[in-house]
Amino acid sequence: MLAYTAKRLLTLIPTLLAASILVFLFVHLIPGDPAAILLGDTATPEEVAQLSSEMGFDHPLYIQYFIWLSNVLKGDLGTSIFFGEPVLSVIGSGAETSILLASMTMIWIILIGLPIGILSATKHGTWIDQMTSSGAMLAASIPTFWLGLYLIMIFSVTLGWFPSSGFPSLSDHGGITNLRYLLLPSLTLAAPNTALIIRLVRASMLDVSREDHVRTARAKGLHPTRVAIKHIFRNALIAVAAAFGFTFAALISEAVVTETVFSLPGIGRLVVQSILRRDYPVIQGVILVIVVLYMVINLAVDLAYARLDPRVSLK
């Protein structure tokens, strides 16, 4: 397991380097003087000239890349044009909201998706299965922004049960109860992905239930529930874990929409606003963070996969 982890970490390095080159080139693909772009419209010619020499913009591209990379490795992602603050701290201010939103969403996906998927598979062919399957189909096909607006209309505007927008930090007044601000957004974000997991769990469990070893398990005289969980679901989890990495990619783009609809001060909304403000350093920083995060998650998924399937790590 340790060797496998080390091997996977090593294969991460070239991917990260390639990704960093793409992110670096982002600013250079925009027409115009990169220093002027990074500083925004209000910068004076002196400031532009100063940044140009700091970043080595008069040097060849590969030298610029190394200057940029060494800055990034030191935690210096540049300065936000709009806020005038380091990009890293701008991103950091949105991190709490986004991390809490992502965690709550994951909890919904697991708490709702797995049990319903298992139920759907064990009752397959019955009306329970048909109901959950069409429910999942519906949830998967509703656009995120529409579901978000719909929930706001019902639960915030009409019923007044939940706030419709914003999120005060957990350290603000209200403390942990501030999580109620994230309830509707996280449900919105969870809906299509939960549907995906339900269908995935159901399909993989039906696949596994036809395997010979399940017959062996039943021949032991085990209770059907035990067979369903310990033998069918446990083995189906291998395929489900493999697909979880893809779910995460979908989650990121849907989070941008959800945070915007619910006006949450998260990283997703930061991206949208930064694009509107042409705050290129922030856009570049966020992309870098997302790329790294995506790779870390996929590494975690791979490691989970190896743990779930003893045939993997020993190859």
Partner 1 sequence: MALLEVQNLEIAVSAKGKLLPVVQSVSFSVDDNETLGIVGESGCGKSLTALAIMGLLGGTTVRITGGSIRFDGMDLLTLSERERRSIMGNQMAMIFQEPMTSLNPVYRIGDQIIENIRQHQKMTKAQARDRVVELLSLVRIPNPSERVDSFPHQMSGGQRQRVMIAMALSCDPKLLIADEPTTALDVTVQKEVLDLMADLQTRMGTAIILISHDLGVISETSNKVAVMYRGRVAEAAETESLFLELAHPYTRGLLNSMPVVDSDVDWLEAIPGRVPTLEEELTGCAFHPRCASATELCLTTVPKETEFKHGHSVQCHFPGKVAP
The residue from 216, 225, 253, 263 that contacts partner 1 (CB under 8 A) is 216
Record the tokens describing residue 139, joined without a space: 């949830």
C-beta of 32 vs 310, nearer to partner 1: 310
Applying CB under 8 A, which part among 96-104, 184-192, 228-236, 290-298 lies near partner 1? 228-236
Min separation Cβ 218 and partner 1, Å: 6
Regarding 308 and contact with partner 1 (CB under 8 A), the answer is yes
Q: Residues in the chain, how many?
A: 315
Q: Are 98 and 169 in contact (CB under 8 A)?
A: no
Regarding 197 and contact with partner 1 (CB under 8 A), the answer is no
Q: Find where tokens 């910068």 sit.
A: 43
C-beta of 14 vs 310, nearer to partner 1: 310
Regarding 120 and contact with partner 1 (CB under 8 A), the answer is no
Min separation Cβ 57 and partner 1, Å: 55
The residue from 123, 218, 277, 278 that contacts partner 1 (CB under 8 A) is 218
Record the tokens describing residue 203, joined without a space: 């399909």
What's the helix, strand, coil split of the chain in %, to 5?
A: 80, 0, 20
AA letter at 251: L
The residue from 18, 211, 272, 275 that contacts partner 1 (CB under 8 A) is 211
Min separation Cβ 11 and partner 1, Å: 24
Regarding 202 and contact with partner 1 (CB under 8 A), the answer is no
Residues in the interface with partner 1 (CB under 8 A) total: 22
Regarding 223 and contact with partner 1 (CB under 8 A), the answer is yes
Other Cβ atoms closer than 10 A to 280 = 22
CA distance 96 to 162: 20
Closest CA to 198 of 141, 132, 131: 132
CA distance 184 to 163: 9
Applying CB under 8 A, which part among 146-154, 159-167, 172-180, 232-240 lies near partner 1? 232-240
Min separation Cβ 8 and partner 1, Å: 20
Min separation Cβ 220 and partner 1, Å: 4
CA distance 84 to 284: 15
Torsion of CA 183, 187, 193, 196, to 10 degrees: 140
CA distance 159 to 172: 25
The residue from 217, 239, 257, 270 that contacts partner 1 (CB under 8 A) is 217
Regarding 238 and contact with partner 1 (CB under 8 A), the answer is yes
Regarding 213 and contact with partner 1 (CB under 8 A), the answer is yes
CA distance 214 to 72: 52
Q: Are 162 and 178 in contact (CB under 8 A)?
A: no
Residue 311 is given by DSSP the state H
Min separation Cβ 118 and partner 1, Å: 16
Three-state DSSP at 116 gives helix
C-beta of 62 vs 127, nearer to partner 1: 127
Min separation Cβ 38 and partner 1, Å: 52
Regarding 229 and contact with partner 1 (CB under 8 A), the answer is no
Q: Are 264 and 185 in contact (CB under 8 A)?
A: yes
Regarding 228 and contact with partner 1 (CB under 8 A), the answer is no
Binding site for partner 1 (CB under 8 A): 209, 211-213, 215-223, 231, 234-235, 238, 308-311, 314
